[in-house]
């Protein structure tokens, strides 16, 4: 069962501003990455549903996070169908993120009052996501659908839309400024936060410091 309501998830996404997106088959590496982000101030984290046995990795990670990172809202991304969403809900996910709109996933999440963020690339899709009960819409891939300019354009006729771009977000002030001035609710960030060399060398302090710097930038922009 989710520990956080979907309203709490949406509010914390806004407050934190940055949602790390990460997957690895090595559970111990996942724990170290999550801990590094948590120590850097991150309070919402998206584990990506990739690879064989990803549900088993998430199960252990979530149980560990409840003990070691009690304020962390841990959720799952890259969920493309209802049955997969149901599996993760049974394992205690606090939110579900999808790369596209899937109505079966929407129904399952709404029945359990789980936050669901589908990937959208048009105003029509954003409107449909709202009809299906979505609070925070994912723009994916953010850079390909038009970047910050797309967000700003959408916010014109839909100022109430809460938008989270993933893809095309980088941990530097210029990029983050463009997205937040455009009106995003928060941003998702993956490989830019976790360079391969940093993971290979086990230099998790770099991840912690990058998170701290990014959050400080976002705090100035909000």
Q: What angle do CA 160, 79, 108 make, to 5 degrees?
A: 70
Angle between helix axes 204-221 and 173-182 (nearest 10 degrees) is 40
* Residue 192: how many other CB atoms lie within 10 Å: 16
pLDDT confidence band for 204 (50 / 70 / 90): very high
Structural contact between residues 201 and 33, judged by C-beta atoms closer than 8 angstroms: no
Across residues 89-100, what is the average pLDDT?
A: 97
The pLDDT of residue 89? 98
Show the domains of the chain with their CATH numbers. Answer: 6-221 (3.20.20.70)
Spell out where 17-161 has E strands: 18-22, 44-48, 73-77, 95-97, 115-117, 119-120, 136-139
Whether the per-residue pLDDT at 54 is higher than 90: the answer is: yes
pLDDT digits (tens, 9 = 90+) for 151-169: 999 999 999 999 999 988 9
Sign of CA dihedral 51, 167, 15, 220: positive
Structural contact between residues 17 and 189, judged by C-beta atoms closer than 8 angstroms: no
Q: What share of the chain has pLDDT > 90, as a percent?
A: 94
Pick the residue with more confidence: 191 or 84?
84
pLDDT confidence band for 144 (50 / 70 / 90): confident
Query: Which SS3 state, helix, strand or coil, does residue 4 take?
Result: coil
Across residues 71-87, what is the average pLDDT?
A: 98
pLDDT digits (tens, 9 = 90+) for 8-17: 999 999 999 9
Closest by CA to 3, choosing from 60, 53, 59, 75, is 75
Whether the per-residue pLDDT at 128 is higher than 90: the answer is: yes
* Helical spans, DSSP H, in 69-201: 82-90, 103-111, 123-131, 147-155, 173-182, 196-201
Whether the per-residue pLDDT at 218 is higher than 90: the answer is: yes
Using the structure block, give the residue that is written with the tokens 């830019």.
192
Q: What share of the chain has pLDDT > 70, as a percent?
A: 100
The pLDDT of residue 143? 83
**DSSP bridge pairs for 76:** 47, 96
pLDDT confidence band for 24 (50 / 70 / 90): very high
* Residue 174: how many other CB atoms lie within 10 Å: 8
Across residues 83-103, what is the average pLDDT?
A: 98
The pLDDT of residue 191? 87
Pick the residue with more confidence: 141 or 24?
24
The pLDDT of residue 222? 81
Across residues 97-113, what is the average pLDDT?
A: 97
């Amino acid at each position: 069962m989710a520990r956080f309501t979907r309203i709490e998830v949406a509010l914390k996404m806004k407050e934190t501003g940055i949602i790390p997106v990460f997957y690895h088959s090595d559970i111990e590496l996942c724990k170290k990455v999550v801990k590094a982000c948590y120590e850097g101030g991150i309070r919402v984290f998206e584990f990506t549903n990739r690879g064989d046995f990803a549900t088993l990795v998430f199960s252990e990670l979530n149980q560990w996070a409840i003990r070691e990172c009690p304020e962390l809202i841990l959720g799952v991304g890259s969920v493309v169908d209802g049955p997969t969403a149901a599996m993760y809900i049974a394992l205690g996910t606090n939110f579900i993120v999808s790369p596209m709109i899937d109505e079966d996933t929407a129904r399952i999440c709404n029945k359990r009052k789980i936050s669901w963020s589908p990937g959208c690339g048009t105003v029509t899709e954003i409107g449909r996501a709202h009809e299906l009960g979505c609070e925070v819409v994912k723009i994916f891939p953010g850079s390909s659908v038009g970047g910050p300019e797309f967000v700003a354009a959408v916010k014109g006729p839909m100022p109430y839309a809460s938008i989270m771009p993933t893809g095309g977000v980088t941990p530097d002030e210029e990029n983050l400024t463009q997205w937040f001035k455009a009106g995003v609710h928060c941003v998702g960030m993956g490989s830019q936060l976790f360079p391969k060399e940093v993971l290979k060398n086990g230099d998790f302090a770099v991840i912690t410091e990058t998170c701290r710097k990014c959050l400080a930038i976002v705090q100035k922009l909000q």
